[in-house]
Amino acid sequence: MRTSEKTDQLYKAIFKSKTEYQKVLKSSTNPFHKSKYADLGAVLDAIEPALEANNLLIIQGGFDSHTAVTTRLVHADSDQWLEIDMSSPLKSEDPQGVGSAITYLRRYSIMSLFCLRAENDDDGNAGSGKGKTVPMNDKGKPIQSQNKDEKPLPQIKYGPMITDLLKQYNLTKDDAERITGHTTLQGLSNDDLFNAYNLLKRSVDKKK
């Protein structure tokens, strides 16, 4: 991290602004990992009003020939500043891959700089007593729940069991997706794997 020669006014403004931040909500869905995350817009929405109220400005830009982003925080009243760099290897060098990497770096640079953490967006359900979680597959559709008496055992790894089941009954990837609603097992929790295994097991049992 680099800073201007003086930082006293900058740090006072940052300290004051932190009391005015909003919650960073996980309002976007990653379809590949079946998880919720806070996108760049959600991060900025949570802090920009507080920064503007305290005359703080975020400036971000790339540098060199690498996928890297410099994030500078400026205090407009005193011209004091601090900045950090963050870089990442590219999975794809096409414009979409570069753009995705830069957006990722911008988001994580800001969250790191301001020590932010993202929280689940329950759309107000927690306060209304409606915060029950419905299992969803990576297509956004509800997954049929297992029998209420059935519970996943933490010591059992259901991923390998699913793989063995697919091989045993010659089920294809398309079969597994059609039955469970999941396009991949990667990133699924043990509970989700347990549900997927039960759905597959019931399906092959019906064919016996």
Domain annotation for the chain: domains and CATH numbers: 2-120 (3.30.160), 137-207 (no CATH)
Return the structure tokens found at 79: 């011209």
Lowest mean pLDDT among 48-52, 61-65, 148-152: 148-152
pLDDT at 76: 95
How would DSSP label each residue in 139-183? TS-BPPPPPTT----TTS-HHHHHHHHHHHTT--HHHHHHHHS-S
Distance CA 163, CA 181 (A): 16
- The whole-model pTM stands at 0.53
Q: What DSSP designation does 7 have?
A: -
pLDDT in tens, 172-184: 877 787 777 777 7
How far lies 142's CA from each of 72, 112, 138, 145, 208, in Å? Answer: 43, 34, 9, 9, 27
pLDDT value at 25 more than 90: no
Lowest average pLDDT, out of 41-45, 72-76, 144-148, 181-185, goes to 144-148
